[in-house]
Amino acid sequence: MEKMRANLFYGVNEFHVAEVEKPRAGAGEAVIRVTLTTICGTDLHIVRGEYPVKPGLVIGHEPVGVIEELGPGLTGYEVGDRVLVGAITPCGQCGACLSGHLSQCGHGGGYEALGGWRFGNTINGAQAEYLLVPNAQANLAKIPDELADEQVVLLADIASTGFSGAESGGVRIGDSVVVFAQGPIGLCATAGAKLTGAALIIGVDGDETRLAMARRMGADVVLDYREVDVVDEVKRLTGGGADVAIEALGTQQTFENALRSLRPAGTLSSLGVYSGKLQMPYDAFAAGLGDHRIVTTLCPGGKERMRRLMEVVRAGRVDLTPLLTHTVSLDEIAEGYRIFGERLDGVLKVAVRP
């Protein structure tokens, strides 16, 4: 029985690297040797007990690697191929997938809430030396030779999620967009607003390093919520309210401010992961009469989504490598979590090299 090393979750604030059985590929599955992965904000939610997963689970969901083993039934791939695998792994055949809602994959049935998110949620994840990829035919995206791991690893989750904030929000050429919170997701949402043609992009945060990075990612104006009334300033800059507000943190305050920053008939595109009770003030919602639209998005996945995102990187439309501010080994992953969780040393994103 071959062994590998992996980062396992045991309970609230309890996780560590241990030896576990190396996975083997069954029909339709693949095993990849993980060459680069990350620590994500969702991993922090798990470790802090804000999102429940079973004890003993390997966490992590942003994998780049090399195919180690292919199970029966796969075509078009070879052992040794470099691949990017999305955080969301749809089956491609269920009712949800065939209806275009891959993130809510029902694994052969209809729909299942968060069904497409399995790595580090319902099955072992990517903070390990090896990873078992389900429904591999639908989820292995070959990496172009000219792209390095560091250029594509963030596409698996935060870039796909961040870009989708603008996509789901229906950002049109010439729109005004305000992005609340300039963490990794918010920075990618800012970049996504630029990619989709927004004419005015406003980035909001209270961290000078993140506000500076927001400008680098495409924000035309940055607002420090510690210094200005953000809602009033957004309305002043936009002449009455933003066309689209993207909420990228998952708190009552940012959700409410995003809603208050909209023009009538504007769209709130929510990317935050919320815990606890979320309330909607009736006045901010114009008592339900403001023709506002609220949309939520779970990270789009699947190999076609990953292919398209890699093409955007290959064409030079976006460079996400500045977001990888820290790199740790698997042995150092606890320190990586500490740096990321406490937002030390200007951290944006921590990469992990198994």
pLDDT of residue 226: 97
**Residue 336 is encoded by which pair of tokens?**
């990586």
pLDDT of residue 274: 85
User: Are the C-beta atoms of residues 100 and 304 closer than 8 Å to each other?
Assistant: no
* Element (DSSP H or E) covering residue 140: strand 140-142
**341 has a pLDDT exceeding 90:** yes
Count Cβ atoms within 10 A of the Cβ of residue 52 and give its class: 0-12 exposed, 13-18 middle, 19 or more buried: exposed
pLDDT band at 1 (very low <50, low <70, confident <90, very high): confident
Domain ranges of the chain: 3-157+299-353, 162-296
Q: Is 260 helix (H, G, I), strand (E, B) or coil?
A: helix
CATH number for the domain whose boundaries are 162-296? 3.40.50.720
φ, ψ of residue 254 to 5 degrees: the values are -70, -35
Instruction: Calculate the average pLDDT of the chain.
Output: 96
Q: Is 152 helix (H, G, I), strand (E, B) or coil?
A: helix
User: Are the C-beta atoms of residues 61 and 119 closer than 8 Å to each other?
Assistant: yes
Q: 69: closest CA among 144, 140, 123?
A: 140
User: Looking at the domain 3-157+299-353, which fold is it?
Assistant: Quinone Oxidoreductase; Chain A, domain 1 (3.90.180)
**108 has a pLDDT exceeding 80:** no
Q: Is 168 helix (H, G, I), strand (E, B) or coil?
A: helix
Strand 64-70 with 14-21, pairing: unpaired
pLDDT of residue 302: 97
pLDDT band at 115 (very low <50, low <70, confident <90, very high): confident
**295 has a pLDDT exceeding 80:** yes
> Which residue bears the tokens 């002043």?
236
Give percent above pLDDT 70 in the chain.
100
The pTM is what? 0.95
Distance in angstroms (rounded) separating the CA atoms of residues 22 and 58: 12
Q: What is the DSSP string of 174-219?
A: T-EEEEE--SHHHHHHHHHHHHTT-SEEEEEES-HHHHHHHHHHT-
Q: 271: closest CA among 120, 161, 157, 118?
A: 161
pLDDT band at 120 (very low <50, low <70, confident <90, very high): very high
Segment 186-208 mean pLDDT: 98
Distance in angstroms (rounded) separating the CA atoms of residues 318 and 77: 28
3-state secondary structure string, 38-88? EECHHHHHHHCCCCCCCCCEECCCCCEEEEEEECCCCCCCCCCCEEEECCE
**91 has a pLDDT exceeding 80:** yes
Strand 262-270 with 293-296, pairing: parallel
Segment 170-184, tens digit of pLDDT: 999 999 999 999 999
**Residue 231 is encoded by which pair of tokens?**
């809602």
pLDDT of residue 340: 97
Distance in angstroms (rounded) separating the CA atoms of residues 275 and 338: 21
Segment 27-77, tens digit of pLDDT: 999 999 999 999 999 999 999 998 899 999 999 999 999 999 999 999 999
